[in-house]
Structure 1
């Protein structure tokens, strides 16, 4: 293991960035904590509480005298206040959460109203671990919608889609065909970052589906650029990888609209495998040709 005091500032920054991407929230406590001692103390405390409860029960049984049954509650004859177990919070069933998401989305008549509805929505457990809800950003009237999969750590921190290194790569991709963030609408299929950047479950995806579909309906884009495996499978179905889905125009039906959609590699794909930039460049040229035509 390499000690942090032997690392250069750049190496330390890269390590911290890696931990943030992995979902690590705390690296060190302010003071050293002996977790083993805490466990022993907690176990002993539970044992003491259990023995005290047994003694109280035995004393109660000895002191209690038979009395005629009545209709009133005699479970606490001493009149003392007895501890009650906390009532657990009930999770919203998936089907109910999907219905509530659909109702909230369809009730919004503008992107601003949709954002407010999503901020108030509590039916998706992803929002419980995310710092921010990441909503669409850019120009809603541009006619061009760029849709990625889900927020990463940078997006979650800033509350803006495509932040950090991935955002910088996307900026270069857009600039290569004469576009920028002010000339498109950027968004994600999933508005909350999953813990540790894991793939959302099918149920989580179903709950979020009404929100992204409503964004598309309200923005009414002329063209859509879909980025990466997850977003491609979400819109086009199947289990193909982005390398099989890319480079082909498809008509995407959404809420009565039919929108030409084109899939290409996600910016992270280009960061992880720079050789893929050649394929992405071919896709971007095809997208620009359709845009100008």
Structure 2
């Protein structure tokens, strides 16, 4: 599906470099990152990643859950984390949301998808990516031989912002320990950041998504690939082909990570 749809997109460029000229990536304008955090540092890739011949991106993720929220740091399972999210009063979103949306999927997934925030359908069902954009995400995953049962899917925010407005900095900070603990519990080998907001928030940068694509970033040591949010693809067909390139890269990184772990005698 993604092979056939859309136009060819540009490759990522160095962090901080503007995307200019006819080959520049279109800018996804759904939502900006909250605040203006300092740029992350340059990533240093392990040998098995360097062998893929993909440029290194940014290195981010220096804070640990225990530093931010000791009570969340000791949650022993994703179910316990979901219950904690349901009782969270760390920001005002719980008052307007119908249901918490902590995330779902394989608790030992090698592949983790991170979006921005729940929308109306997600708020109604308490599940991530279940609307039209979620159906497209399912197809995208299927195109690289992954099902929703194979991966873990969550968002930066665990409750829906009213009217799908921009997430606020205090909301991002309140939810940050939950996402970090999810990564600690799931232990993914690849993270796919869906959309500008998720990418900029995780990588602590204001760099445009077109400049973040096509590179292997690191978030808390985990390889991270940036692509467009499925909702953006529904609005702009031209982003489908670049997204196909991105998810193929994510699949290559996943396969390489599995091979490297197998060679090292780990599971």
- TM-score normalised over the length of structure 1: 0.63
- Structure-2 separation of matches of 1:104 and 1:263: 30
Q: Does 1:197 align with 2:160?
A: no
Residue number in structure 1 paired with 2:239: 276
- Structure-1 separation of matches of 2:117 and 2:204: 17
Q: Does 1:263 align with 2:226?
A: yes
Residue number in structure 2 paired with 1:163: 130
Shift of 1:185: 0.4
Q: Does 1:241 align with 2:208?
A: yes
Shift of 1:99: 9.9
RMSD: 1.8
Instruction: Say which SS state the counterpart of residue 183 (structure 1) adopts.
Output: coil
Instruction: Say which SS state the counterpart of residue 242 (structure 2) adopts.
Output: helix
- Structure-2 separation of matches of 1:102 and 1:183: 29
* Conserved? CA contact 2:233–2:239, under 8 Å: yes
* Conserved? CA contact 1:135–1:187, under 8 Å: yes
1:154–1:101 CA distance, 2 compared to 1 (3 A)? farther
Q: In structure 2, list runs of 5 or more residues that go unmatched.
A: 1-64, 257-267
- Structure-1 separation of matches of 2:248 and 2:185: 27
Q: Does 1:206 align with 2:168?
A: no
- Structure-2 separation of matches of 1:195 and 1:101: 26
* Conserved? CA contact 1:140–1:185, under 8 Å: yes
1:120–1:99 CA distance, 2 compared to 1 (3 A)? farther
Q: Which has the higher contact order (CA 8 A, sep 6+)?
A: 2
Q: In structure 1, list runs of 5 or more residues that go unmatched.
A: 1-97
Shift of 1:107: 2.8
- TM-score normalised over the length of structure 2: 0.69
Residue number in structure 1 paired with 2:252: 289
- Structure-1 separation of matches of 2:214 and 2:66: 35
Residue number in structure 2 paired with 1:106: 73
How many pairs are equivalent? 192
Structure with more of its chain in helix, by fraction: 1
Shift of 1:288: 1.5
Shift of 1:168: 0.8
Instruction: Say which SS state the counterpart of residue 204 (structure 1) adopts.
Output: helix
Residue number in structure 2 paired with 1:118: 85
Larger radius of gyration: 1
Runs of 4+ aligned residues of structure 1 deviating over 4 Å after TM superposition are 98-101
* Conserved? CA contact 1:232–1:263, under 8 Å: yes
Shift of 1:118: 1.6
| Deviation by residue 1:106-162 (Cα, 9 ceiling, x = unmatched) | 131111111111212212101110000001111111211111110011110111100
Shift of 1:100: 11
- Structure-2 separation of matches of 1:185 and 1:171: 12
